[in-house]
Structure 1
Amino acid sequence: MTTPFPTATVTGYPRIGARREQKRALEAYWAGRIDADDFTRSVHTLRVETYHRLAELGLREDYAIPASYSHYDHVLDTALTVGLIPTDTGGTNTGAAAGLDAYFALARGTSQRSPLEMTKWFDTNYHYLVPELADSTVFTARPHHLLSLVAEARAAGHLVRPVLVGPVTLLALAKPAPGATTLPLDRLDELTLVYRDILTGLSDAGVDWVQFDEPALVADIPGTTDARLAEAARRTYATLSSATVRPQLFVTAPYGSLENGLPALAESGIDALGVDLSAATRGADPDYAPRLAATLPPSVHLVAGAIDGRNVWADDLAASLDVLTGLGRESLSVSTSTSLLHVPYTVSQETTLPVDVAFWLSFAEEKVTEVEALATALAEGAEARPEAFNRAERVRRTRASSTRVHNAEVAARTAAEATNDGFRADAATRIAAQESLGIPDLPTTTIGSFPQTAEVRRARADHRAGRVDDAAYEQAMRAEIDRVIDLQEELGLDILVHGEPERNDMVQYFAEHLDGFTTTEHGWVQSYGSRCTRPPILFGDVSRPDPITVGWTRYAASRTPHPVKGMLTGPVTILAWSFVRDDVDLRVSADQIGLALADEVADLEAAGIGIIQVDEPALRELLPLRSRARAEYLDWSVRAFRLVSAHVSPQTQIHTHLCYSEFGEIIEAIDALDADVTSIEAARSRMEVLDDIAGFGFGRGIGPGIYDIHSPRVPTVEELRELIEAALKHVPAHRLWINPDCGLKTRDYPEVRASLANLVAARQAMLDSVQVTV
């Protein structure tokens, strides 16, 4: 007799540890402070404790807990599980059955090989490693890692649900390896047979449910169509469901609503379908719930993701219960709309949040209890969980009436700028005016941050805790700025930065200085690997009470005759890397942040700073997954960026920076930002983006990154020179900037010194070898 699907579940859970235990274990292993056995014991403990905690929170039924753990990235893990690996790894399986070093070589690179390309996971701030599929790749079932997770959990008293990226999504996100002639999706039927072999192995191990995540079915994927992906899913899951020996199949479609994919999955033979029914998705697609009720046959168990897995606001349980009961289904479970990978662990750890704001929040643990409360209410009525439903109602009322949320002055200013398109003088006028800056051909610079040493972090922590006073803290930060300026002058960089030692994070730092935001102590979320961020929480109208960066930038400029860039984070990135309000449209918050930053730009300009960089690495990240909604988003997001510099003089050079995005999809929007210089990630993709730039006719300064800062390896002068040479085929020297892919915060000084020295040497070699003219 098969196990029924649990009435309450989540589709994924944070894996870094409530106190970032995995991050510390990873970095200790990479640094050689612990060995493989120590690392394995550490993460084993973390996983088992997570299972115990989820059971305590209410996920006690068999297979209610997903085995969604990964050492680094779940896409990489699935690619290895099915044998989809790069051709230069010698066919080594780098899953749990093989060496950790081989696994991490794919993720981080080594001195001998570059890492896999990294990009954003749909419209989230999580980064995944892009699988590369060669013509010679032979798919092979390697379920060792999944089987070990199952056995480990069973030994600890839990029947967990193995999780894999589904075959359609895996190939939709993969890229052809260099020299490949076959598109990844063309090999779906072949890959499906390997997934079937994996199902057989799981069934033999006594597994009754397996989860396949298929978010590609809610998105418009370049190079294919929604209809083609839906047909691929129908064919794939019909094959998998027809297997004689298999667990029951639970397919999830997070991050939005299914269109063609809904009828395709409904008739494919799967056993359960998980859908995103969060308030955000219901708002974007009001017909989604009725469409589900009308399309899904009784034979497919519906797992309704009513609890938002991506934002931190407590759920309106009464409204969600109305939606669930309105589906009119007997075969129904409650879940999160997405994996809880995207939210922090628990509000209970926070001691410094404003009391009223804290009351409005729900992190991963709290969301699990909301799932359990909804599932119980669905079966027994809301009166079965009076405390949960009464609290949800108080949250709704107090947020709506809070004077902390609304600021009449900010609202009036935002309304007054409603017709401002943000355009400055034309580009030709600005180029002529900026000749006074004296910028050479192939100018070298960095993106902003320099390594954050233990001493710098300690000084910030001591100041925050009151152990050092303002004067001592300022002295420590100035000493680090001196170090950064001296290093850049020593290396021969042209345009300098102050290094941002005072900033814990490029978004959090600004949030701490803007009204309308609050920040957490322990609200860490995984971005990739061991990289974690603490997204600020945007709860109200935004304004800037005082200057934020001016003092530090002015000091750096006083220490050198070279130009020093002012460094700001743009409004769209601040939104994308924060937990945002769900009570107003995003464009309202974007305009408010843009106007607050415009005040900062005006003060920098008044302080004599002639180059100001406004970073927007997340511009592509918020792009709607469906193409029909993208033009509207790009219109308001680009306008918000332009508001930041709308009133600066033509002599002030405005830079922006974008990273880890599919730039070709938004090249018109990048151009519409109207920045004087745009720096972009390009090293891992070996300048692929330049085809988009050249094809579009981008006419202003461009800095395609040549140093991949997300890997610890030091690129050689020859490698860097080759990238510069490739860039010069598309961009003339007077418009080409030489810079890293991104900020240097996560690297250490020996790596940075060597890499930047090679960058400057590569640039000089190009100048020496060719006649560069303006």
Structure 2
Amino acid sequence: MTILNHILGFPRIGFKRELKIAQEMYWSKKISKSKLKEIGKKIRIKNLKKQKEMGLDFLSVGDFAWYDHVLSTSMMLGNIPKRFINSNNKIDIDTLFYIARGVSTDKKSTNPSEMTKWFNTNYHYIVPEFSKDSVFNFSWKQLLKEIDEALLIGKNVKPIILGPMSYLWLGKTYELNFNRFDLLDKILDVYKNIFSCLEKKGIKWIQIDEPILSLDLSSEYKKNFIYSYNYLKCNINILLTTYFGNISHNLDIIQKIPIQGIHLDLISGKYNFADLKKNFSKDLIISLGVINGKNIWKTDLIKYYFLIKKILKYRDNIWIGSSCSLIHVPVDIQQEKKIKTELKTLFSFAVQKCYELYLLSSALNKNKIDLLESWVLPLLSYNQIIKNNTNNNLKDKILSLKKKDYQRKNSYKIRYKKQKKKLNLPILPITTIGSFPQTQDLRKLRSNFRNKLINKKEYKKKIFKIIKYNILQQEKLNIDVLVHGEPERNDMVEYFGENLEGFLFTEYGWVQSYGSRCVKPPIIYSDISRSKPITLDWIKYAQSLTKKPVKGMLTGPVTILLWSFPREDISYKIIATQIALALKDEIYDLEKNGINIIQIDEPALREGLPLKNIDKQKYLSWAINSFKLSVSSVKDSTQIHTHMCYCEFNDIIQSISDLDADVITIETARSNMEILDCFKNFKYPNSVGPGFYDIHSPNIPQKNNIIKLIKKSMKIISINKLWINPDCGLKTRTWTEVNNALKNLVSATKKIRSNIS
């Protein structure tokens, strides 16, 4: 039998972020709806043609999304929150954007749906909302249009649909005494309708994504899983797709459902292939995810050639694919003109990963391993590059670390008193998370400096001018703890990578984080160290402009690691420790120069948590220690902040406490402070700054609503340990939005303070 190849999804942003640009132009009313749709179609057609050109056996459709694929699923199922349904019940692309971003008119503001992390990635999705009277119907038929587009390019079209069980798991219900499974039959009926439409179009295979199979599922979920897929039995072949972990613990589900194929992620999950031989029927197609969909290094195709050859001895119905969707990697390495050739040949972006699948399937089908040798050769030369760049002093330093190197001198109780005396802050101190608006002029300034159109002296002078403006604006607003606004930073991870040894950068290595938000992760290719101060000049200057404390702003070791593309020859633990030691030197310099509050952001801490319970503690141990190592030598009077956003904290609240940061700021505004519930049952010992302003929506928070949220927080968190802040940085907002929102935030806080006094 011929081994077929396929991917689980292709990046949707366009080769040069065309979708992001079009979205933001549409939102600002610079292009029409028809123009936006035209650009989206061009991106989809180009993606399909590129997949065909690279030799894929299937054209994958349904991987495109106007914001995120979970929200697209909600639209497809007709699951629209009531507050977004208009008088004529019309559902269109504007409905989708309203759900994602909120909508504001002269008469009222409607809050967007919640947003959170997609499993253990930096991709975000809009959380589906469920209620007793939720209505489901197949009214948004974008998928059918995309299938028609694909059928004009190739006959072997494979639609991708998020599975009903994962969709239910990803959503939220805000009603008491309501079981979301009461909605299951309604949802399954829509899926049946969709399958029927696909069958009429001649579709032979559907990819149904059920990533929750990597989780430890309850008996209720297992029971309903089996029920659902028996209910959905149809004439189209179903490839049940799993990723982000091993599913061996849920094989009992697979054995009881009528599917024709199963996809296994061999990158994130380790499998005993003897068990797979025993547990899967011979008729079942097994798709092996052997091309890493979350990292950009070339695949050792020879390694997988021999592995698959072993499997073929007892099973010949094998496909090969990417481990997960390729939305987590950049589009095409060939766009990169500034990376040295010897390094460039080490990497494989989405287009190249498609080609890797073609190469591997060709070698297996023709029984010719020599087809792979030239592709793999650069990986062998990388070993020599690493050997030449190994920092032996750093290696010895890590080996010599002791338990005391991960601890601050005294407990929070002692530190709190010293910080209170040193900083003399008012009750309910107001601060922001770090960044201020990144205007078009500011981006142009950085671009001009990067392209050597202005010299360093001129660049620094102009950045200082922006910092001065940021400080003056905050003082006018009467904010208590100021920030310099981060005008010198393109991205919170990329900026630090640019100023540390061991990182490599791309021009077009963009990856979607959510909606139109794209990030450009740096590549970690050798040992990491710090040769000079990174933030000191900017923070010192900002502090010289005011008598109020200015926070030093750093990105934490776990976030720098997880929001980069890390090397694969050493452990994450070692990489995080290298970064922590570099940050420790930076923190020492800030403190030595009179910076008394330092924020080390760790928004990726929860994201890196393994999906299976058995693996979680090992990760949390080294992740927490890397943060503690970076701050361990600061004085008691120096206040350490950290920030986390858009994730579920309940299952790691003890670990967050173990970080021992003096103040933690978190995202709560978008969920109506729901995340604070975890503080009811857990006596969090240190200070907390819940987010009182959802910065990802253009809506301006109203003073009365902020007052309500502060009062709600005061019932759970001691007033002496409560901080007031937005839920994230303000770089994506305009100055008009920021000023209006922060005015209301300050006014609301003053109102509460006056009532207390």
**Which one-letter code corresponds to 2:23 in the other structure?**
L
1:80-91 mapped onto 2 (5 Å cutoff): 80-90=75-85
1:300-319 mapped onto 2 (5 Å cutoff): 300-319=284-303
**Inter-CA distance 17–590: structure 2 relative to 1 (3 Å threshold):** same
- The structure 1 residue matched to 2:374, chosen from 369, 390, 399, is 390
**What is the aligned partner in structure 2 of residue 645 from structure 1?**
631
Query: Per-residue deviation at 1:102?
Result: 1.3
Query: Per-residue deviation at 1:410?
Result: 1.0
1:232 aligns with 2:224: yes
- The structure 2 residue matched to 1:715, chosen from 687, 701, 713, is 701
Which secondary structure does the structure 1 equivalent of 2:387 belong to? coil
Which secondary structure does the structure 2 equivalent of 1:26 belong to? helix
1:771 aligns with 2:756: yes
Contact 1:85 1:91 in 2 (8 A): no
**What is the aligned partner in structure 2 of residue 434 from structure 1?**
419
- The structure 1 residue matched to 2:620, chosen from 631, 634, 640, is 634
**Inter-CA distance 261–85: structure 2 relative to 1 (3 Å threshold):** farther
1:217 aligns with 2:217: no
Contact 1:80 1:93 in 2 (8 A): no
Mapped partners of 1:631, 1:706: distance in 2: 31
1:375 aligns with 2:361: yes
Please give the per-residue CA displacement for 1:54-87, whole angstroms capped at 9, x wherever unaligned. 111112x3x4433311111100111221222223
Please give the per-residue CA displacement for 1:241-269, whole angstroms capped at 9, x wherever unaligned. 2x3xx422111001111124334224411
Query: Per-residue deviation at 1:400?
Result: 5.5
Contact 1:421 1:639 in 2 (8 A): no
**Which one-letter code corresponds to 1:76 in the other structure?**
L
1:262 aligns with 2:251: yes
Contact 1:217 1:261 in 2 (8 A): yes
**What is the aligned partner in structure 1 of residue 283 from structure 2?**
299
Contact 2:528 2:579 in 1 (8 A): yes
Which secondary structure does the structure 1 equivalent of 2:737 belong to? helix
**What is the aligned partner in structure 2 of residue 104 from structure 1?**
97
**What is the aligned partner in structure 2 of residue 402 from structure 1?**
386
Mapped partners of 1:657, 1:736: distance in 2: 14
Query: Per-residue deviation at 1:618?
Result: 0.7
**What is the aligned partner in structure 2 of residue 345 from structure 1?**
331
- The structure 1 residue matched to 2:746, chosen from 760, 763, 772, is 760
Contact 1:452 1:746 in 2 (8 A): yes
- The structure 1 residue matched to 2:515, chosen from 529, 552, 555, is 529
- The structure 2 residue matched to 1:575, chosen from 558, 561, 575, is 561
Contact 1:134 1:180 in 2 (8 A): no
**Which one-letter code corresponds to 1:275 in the other structure?**
L
Please give the per-residue CA displacement for 1:393-425, whole angstroms capped at 9, x wherever unaligned. 441343366335421011111112253452211
Query: Per-residue deviation at 1:462?
Result: 0.5
**What is the aligned partner in structure 2 of residue 411 from structure 1?**
395
Which secondary structure does the structure 2 equivalent of 1:734 belong to? helix
**Which one-letter code corresponds to 1:459 in the other structure?**
L
**What is the aligned partner in structure 2 of residue 137 from structure 1?**
134
Which secondary structure does the structure 2 equivalent of 1:684 belong to? helix
**Inter-CA distance 179–702: structure 2 relative to 1 (3 Å threshold):** same
1:167-178 mapped onto 2 (5 Å cutoff): 167-176=164-173, 178=174
**What is the aligned partner in structure 1 of residue 660 from structure 2?**
674
**What is the aligned partner in structure 1 of residue 151 from structure 2?**
154
Mapped partners of 1:418, 1:380: distance in 2: 54
**Inter-CA distance 382–230: structure 2 relative to 1 (3 Å threshold):** farther
**What is the aligned partner in structure 1 of residue 178 from structure 2?**
182
**Which one-letter code corresponds to 2:13 in the other structure?**
I
Mapped partners of 1:567, 1:758: distance in 2: 25
1:486 aligns with 2:482: no
- The structure 1 residue matched to 2:74, chosen from 79, 94, 108, is 79
**Which one-letter code corresponds to 2:93 in the other structure?**
L
**Which one-letter code corresponds to 1:549 in the other structure?**
T
Which secondary structure does the structure 2 equivalent of 1:460 belong to? helix
**Inter-CA distance 316–748: structure 2 relative to 1 (3 Å threshold):** same
Contact 2:641 2:664 in 1 (8 A): yes
**What is the aligned partner in structure 2 of residue 48 from structure 1?**
45
**What is the aligned partner in structure 1 of residue 242 from structure 2?**
253
1:502-581 mapped onto 2 (5 Å cutoff): 502-581=488-567
Please give the per-residue CA displacement for 1:469-493, whole angstroms capped at 9, x wherever unaligned. 0011001101110110010001110
Which secondary structure does the structure 2 equivalent of 1:65 belong to? strand
Which secondary structure does the structure 1 equivalent of 2:720 belong to? coil
Which secondary structure does the structure 2 equivalent of 1:654 belong to? strand
Which secondary structure does the structure 1 equivalent of 2:446 belong to? helix
Contact 2:59 2:150 in 1 (8 A): no
**Inter-CA distance 193–373: structure 2 relative to 1 (3 Å threshold):** same
Which secondary structure does the structure 2 equivalent of 1:105 belong to? helix
**Inter-CA distance 93–364: structure 2 relative to 1 (3 Å threshold):** farther
**What is the aligned partner in structure 2 of residue 749 from structure 1?**
735
Which secondary structure does the structure 1 equivalent of 2:473 belong to? helix
Query: Per-residue deviation at 1:689?
Result: 1.7
Provide the TM-score with structure 1 as the length reference. Answer: 0.94
Provide the TM-score with structure 2 as the length reference. Answer: 0.96
Which secondary structure does the structure 1 equivalent of 2:664 belong to? strand
1:56-67 mapped onto 2 (5 Å cutoff): 56-59=53-56, 61=57, 63-67=58-62
Please give the per-residue CA displacement for 1:275-331, whole angstroms capped at 9, x wherever unaligned. 1012x43xxx352x3332322112211111111111111111111112212223211
Which secondary structure does the structure 1 equivalent of 2:248 belong to? coil
**What is the aligned partner in structure 1 of residue 261 from structure 2?**
272
**Which one-letter code corresponds to 1:237 in the other structure?**
Y
Mapped partners of 1:619, 1:502: distance in 2: 25
Query: Per-residue deviation at 1:581?
Result: 1.6
Report how many aligned residue pairs link the two structures. 749
Which secondary structure does the structure 2 equivalent of 1:8 belong to? strand
1:21 aligns with 2:18: yes
**Inter-CA distance 496–674: structure 2 relative to 1 (3 Å threshold):** same
**Inter-CA distance 564–613: structure 2 relative to 1 (3 Å threshold):** same
4+ residue segments displaced more than 6 Å: 91-94
Mapped partners of 2:437, 2:87: distance in 1: 34
Unmatched tracts of structure 1, length 5 or more = none
Contact 1:237 1:265 in 2 (8 A): no
Which secondary structure does the structure 2 equivalent of 1:69 belong to? coil
Mapped partners of 2:310, 2:447: distance in 1: 51
Unmatched tracts of structure 2, length 5 or more = none
**Which one-letter code corresponds to 1:45 in the other structure?**
K
Mapped partners of 2:667, 2:451: distance in 1: 36
**Which one-letter code corresponds to 2:17 in the other structure?**
R
Query: Per-residue deviation at 1:175?
Result: 0.7
**Which one-letter code corresponds to 2:664 in the other structure?**
T
Mapped partners of 1:553, 1:131: distance in 2: 41
> RMSD of the TM alignment (CA)?
1.8
Which secondary structure does the structure 2 equivalent of 1:327 belong to? helix
Mapped partners of 1:418, 1:734: distance in 2: 34
Aligned identity (percent) is 39
Between 1:263-272 and 1:590-599, the stretch displaced more is 263-272
Mapped partners of 1:309, 1:93: distance in 2: 42
**Inter-CA distance 662–721: structure 2 relative to 1 (3 Å threshold):** same
- The structure 2 residue matched to 1:738, chosen from 724, 729, 734, is 724
**What is the aligned partner in structure 1 of residue 5 from structure 2?**
8
Query: Per-residue deviation at 1:186?
Result: 4.5
Mapped partners of 1:757, 1:633: distance in 2: 41
**What is the aligned partner in structure 2 of residue 69 from structure 1?**
64
**Which one-letter code corresponds to 1:339 in the other structure?**
S
Which secondary structure does the structure 2 equivalent of 1:613 belong to? strand
Mapped partners of 1:659, 1:730: distance in 2: 19
